[in-house]
């Protein structure tokens, strides 16, 4: 990882030097490397445990937005301090997991002894840390797109792609706009994905068999837990859909289209999008991501490079499949600590 950091930062430095050698009106050949590579490497550093690369806002520094870069540095220090406090990898060795000690209705005041198991409080802290880290991660991707769009606008007269300049908060709210919800290009994939998830997702015990669910350190009835989980999914997927679409379609596909045939740019960006999912999700999910990336990239191109529809589609694909999987098997959620099943 240290070698990756050195190589990546070296490439960033080279790209930055190359970029500054071009005038604002010329084709900026270092733009994609500078913004996409530096931003993504730094963004991944926020998500990876014990990463040697802090997020220092290199794209913001490039635009001479020093205050913004300084703010990122301060947020980064806060995130790493919180990671040191809550990171499960640094605490798990202190506990011996014993399933017989999980809380239940008959012993509502039972708490774990030190060294006797993971407590509901630990689960709550871990859950909130993961949500915070998720927010930092995708906010960085959104910032990469914002910086790229500003750089792309410098060469507007020679650009092949003319993306719509919708403000970012409006794009992030696309999943909840009726204009997109009634669009068959949005709801048809959502229905198909929900059906496929229902038919093929593994199921140990469905939500209807649960009596009580412990999540975020508290106990809930099954359908209150479903409501809380759905709200959590909505928060996560707004960030996920907005960040990933702004990066993969709004930045990568746009820049590739500037240099290649639009169909080839679509194919390459879709393959990269699928490959990006391999480390955390596996080959099977990456194939599905490649197909989804192709569909989203096609719609992005067909709509005159407007991100609204693809953000809405991405959100509902992820949200519906996540909720269906939870209903089929609530133990699949990383936020669930313990389930008391009906006898």
Q: Give the model confidence (pLDDT) of 199-236 as tens digits.
A: 888 887 899 899 999 888 788 999 999 999 999 999 99
Please calculate the CA angle 146-249-48 and round it to the nearest 5 degrees: 70
Retrieve residue 61's tokens. Answer: 């520094």
Q: Which residues pair with 155 in a beta bridge?
A: none
| Residues 256/259/265/268 CA torsion (nearest 10 deg) | -70
How does residue 294 score in pLDDT terms, banded at 50, 70 and 90? Answer: very high
**What gap in Å lies between CA 215 and CA 336, rounded to an integer?**
5
Higher pLDDT, 234 or 260: 234
Q: In Å, what is the CA distance from 93 to each residue of 49, 97, 114, 118? A: 16, 10, 12, 10
- Both tokens of residue 272? 């990269």
Q: Lowest-confidence range among 134-143, 290-299, 322-331?
A: 134-143
- Residue that is written with structure tokens 């919180």 in the block: 82
Q: Where are the beta strands (DSSP E) in the chain?
A: 210-215, 218-220, 336-341
Q: Torsion over CA of 136, 140, 143 and 147, rounded to 10 degrees?
A: 160
| Res 119: pLDDT | 65
327 and 206 in contact (C-beta within 8 Å)?
Answer: yes
Other beta carbons less than 10 A from residue 234's beta carbon: 16
Whole-angstrom Cα distance, residue 160 to residue 162? 7
Question: What was the pLDDT predicted at 64?
Answer: 61
Terminal-to-terminal C-alpha distance of the chain: 49
- What pLDDT was estimated at residue 21? 41
* Cβ(120)–Cβ(107) below 8 Å: no
Phi, psi of 178 (to 5 degrees): -60, -30
Mean pLDDT of 98-112: 42
What integer best gives the mean pLDDT of the chain?
A: 75
DSSP code of residue 264: H
Q: What is the pTM of this model?
A: 0.77
SS3 309: helix
pLDDT at 317 over 50: yes
Partners of 338 in the beta sheet?
Answer: 214
**Confidence at residue 34, expressed as pLDDT on a 0 to 100 scale:** 57
pLDDT at 185: 95
Specify whether the CB–CB gap between 205 and 332 falls below 8 A.
no
- Measured from the Cβ of residue 167, the count of other Cβ atoms closer than 10 Å reads 7
In this predicted model, which residue has the larger pLDDT, 115 or 47? 47
The band of 183, judged by pLDDT with boundaries at 50, 70 and 90, is very high
Given a cut of 80, whether residue 158 has pLDDT beyond it is yes
pLDDT band at 101 (very low <50, low <70, confident <90, very high): very low
**In angstroms, rounded to a whole number, what is the distance separating the alpha carbons of residues 190 and 181?**
10
- Kindly report the CA angle at 196 between 190 and 197, in degrees rounded to 5? 85
């Amino acid at each position: 990882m240290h070698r990756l950091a050195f190589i990546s930062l070296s490439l960033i430095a080279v790209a930055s030097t190359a970029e500054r050698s071009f005038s604002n009106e010329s084709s900026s050949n270092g733009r994609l490397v500078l913004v996409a590579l530096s931003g993504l490497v730094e963004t991944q550093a926020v998500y990876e445990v014990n990463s040697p690369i802090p997020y220092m806002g290199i794209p913001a520094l490039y635009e001479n937005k020093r205050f913004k870069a300084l703010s990122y540095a301060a947020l980064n220090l806060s995130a790493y301090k919180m990671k040191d406090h809550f990171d499960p990898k640094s605490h798990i060795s202190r506990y011996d997991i014993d399933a017989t000690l999980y809380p239940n209705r008959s012993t509502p005041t039972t708490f774990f002894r030190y060294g006797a198991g993971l407590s509901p409080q630990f689960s709550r802290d871990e859950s909130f840390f993961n949500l915070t880290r998720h927010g930092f991660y995708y906010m960085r991707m959104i910032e990469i797109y914002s910086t790229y769009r500003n750089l792309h606008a410098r060469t507007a007269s020679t650009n092949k792609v003319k993306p719509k300049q919708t403000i970012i908060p409006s794009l992030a709210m696309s999943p909840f706009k009726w204009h997109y919800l009634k669009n068959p290009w949005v709801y048809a994939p959502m229905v198909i994905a929900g059906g496929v998830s229902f038919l093929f997702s593994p199921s140990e015990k469905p939500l209807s068999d649960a009596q009580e669910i412990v999540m975020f350190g508290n106990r809930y009835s099954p359908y209150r837990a479903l409501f809380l989980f759905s709200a959590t999914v909505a928060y996560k997927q707004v960030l996920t859909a907005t960040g990933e679409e702004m990066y993969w379609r709004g930045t990568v596909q746009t820049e590739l289209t500037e240099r290649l045939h639009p169909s080839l740019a679509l194919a390459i960006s879709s393959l990269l999008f699928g490959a990006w999912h391999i480390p955390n999700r596996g080959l099977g999910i990456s194939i599905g991501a490649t197909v989804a990336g192709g569909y989203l990239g096609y719609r992005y191109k067909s709509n005159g490079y407007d991100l609204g529809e693809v953000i809405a589609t991405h959100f509902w694909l992820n949200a519906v499949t996540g909720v269906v999987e939870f209903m089929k098997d609530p133990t699949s959620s990383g936020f669930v600590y313990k389930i008391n099943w009906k006898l």
